[in-house]
Amino acid sequence: MTEREEELIDISVVVPLYNEDESLPELYAWIERVMQANGFTYEVIFVNDGSTDRSWEVIEELQRKSLHVRGIKFRRNHGKSPALYCGFERVRGRVVITMDADLQDSPDEIPELYRMITEDGYDLVSGWKQKRYDPLSKTIPTKLFNATARMVSGIHNLHDFNCGLKAYRCEVVKNIEVYGEMHRYIPYLAKEAGFKRIGEKVVRHQARKYGKTKFGLSRFVNGYLDLLSLWFLSRFGVQPMHIFGLLGSVMFLLGFLACLVVGGNKLYAMAMGLPYRLVTDSPYFYLALTAMMLGTQLFLTGFLAELISRNSQERNKYHIEKEI
């Protein structure tokens, strides 16, 4: 066993939070009770995402009472993805559990999630809140969003990509980068990193006990845009010329052929003594020129993107599973 493996504990729980001072003591007491009942070695990392209430003071109080508590405080609100990223950087558990701080995720699910990772061999297990205590204005867009995410990502066995309650092997969180608002697509990020053993567990969803939700309807619009960005980057991020160069070449070729047709029609009419008009009088000539210019711009865009990608530190970053 290596020195790194000896340092590992059983479970790291990462809890991103924003203005949840009322729920934190109850949440930690619940987590602690579950861990002690199952004999787990553990840590709980609270990531305070720029809260304006007493959340950080509560975390400090919990840390003074328990050596299992660790805390990270942001100077301002950055979002859930940066909070998870910072938590993932610091975890020491063989299994990493993420959950929200609003008590809607049940810590009682932790033992089974841990078992599915350690015994069933999953890389990632995502919770599915099959029965939700949310209004229709939230549940219907969520179902549409998840259906689209399944289709684009190819992970057809997940019903709830955005569920905050998830379990991971430590290697997974150390090999993915969660940024922007990509926390919704962590299973997709894991799959693209080569961790394809992704499972799902039905979990209990509890009604919010304190405060109010921090997410509005805008997250669904942003979610679709992020999904398109992630799909594009996963397909063409390293080789952008494959998409821009192809589209540019096709568009330039179509425009060039259209110019030949317009010019050929005039030459044919002149040769046959038929009435004809100037090439510049034809709207098809300007459409063809526009297509050729757009095709050239797309091709140059791909060329410049390829140059940028060639100098990127991420270009040759591959996910190595083992080395002997």
19 to each of 31, 49, 50, 87, 96, how far by Cα in Å? 19, 8, 8, 18, 23
- In this structure, the answer to whether residues 80 and 211 fall within a common structural domain is yes
pLDDT value at 215 more than 50: yes
- In this structure, the answer to whether residues 224 and 252 fall within a common structural domain is no
- CATH number for the domain that contains residue 72: 3.90.550.10
Helices (H), the chain: 3-7, 24-38, 55-65, 80-90, 110-118, 136-153, 170-174, 186-192, 218-236, 241-271, 283-310
Does the residue 324 lie in any domain? no
- In this structure, the answer to whether residues 252 and 292 fall within a common structural domain is yes
Of the given ranges (34-43, 71-80, 258-267), which has the lowest mean pLDDT? 258-267
d(CA 20, CA 72): 14
- In this structure, the answer to whether residues 249 and 215 fall within a common structural domain is no
Listed residues 236, 267, 301: the one ending a domain: 236
Domain holding 113, by residue range, is 3-236
pLDDT tens per residue, range 231-248: 776 666 667 777 788 888
Return left, alpha or beta for 296; rule: phi > 0 is left, psi -120 to 50 is alpha, else beta: alpha
Residues 59/64/69/73 CA torsion (nearest 10 deg) = 40
Listed residues 209, 236, 263: the one ending a domain: 236
Of the given ranges (60-74, 126-140, 242-256), which has the lowest mean pLDDT? 126-140
Strand partners, 69: 44
- In this structure, the answer to whether residues 255 and 231 fall within a common structural domain is no
Q: Give the pLDDT mean for 190-199.
A: 91
**Number of domain units in the chain:** 2
Contact call for residues 14 and 87 (beta carbons, < 8 A):
yes
Does the residue 210 lie in any domain? yes
- In this structure, the answer to whether residues 138 and 286 fall within a common structural domain is no
- In this structure, the answer to whether residues 284 and 160 fall within a common structural domain is no
- In this structure, the answer to whether residues 148 and 272 fall within a common structural domain is no
The confidence score (pLDDT) of residue 3 equals 44
Return left, alpha or beta for 293; rule: phi > 0 is left, psi -120 to 50 is alpha, else beta: alpha
Whole-model pTM over 0.85: no
pLDDT value at 252 more than 70: yes
Based on its alpha-carbon atoms, the radius of gyration of the chain, rounded to whole angstroms, reads 27
Confidence category of residue 56, pLDDT binned at 50, 70, 90: very high
pLDDT value at 42 more than 90: yes
d(CA 45, CA 34): 16
pLDDT tens per residue, range 73-88: 999 998 898 999 999 9
Listed residues 236, 261, 279: the one ending a domain: 236
Does the residue 318 lie in any domain? no
Coil, strand or helix: which one is 199?
strand
The confidence score (pLDDT) of residue 6 equals 47
pLDDT value at 165 more than 60: yes
- In this structure, the answer to whether residues 128 and 257 fall within a common structural domain is no
DSSP 133-169: -S-HHHHHHHHHHHHHHHHHH--TT-S-TT-S-EEEE
- In this structure, the answer to whether residues 212 and 265 fall within a common structural domain is no
Q: Give the pLDDT mean for 240-260.
A: 87
- In this structure, the answer to whether residues 53 and 76 fall within a common structural domain is yes
pLDDT value at 313 more than 70: no
Contact call for residues 100 and 164 (beta carbons, < 8 A):
yes
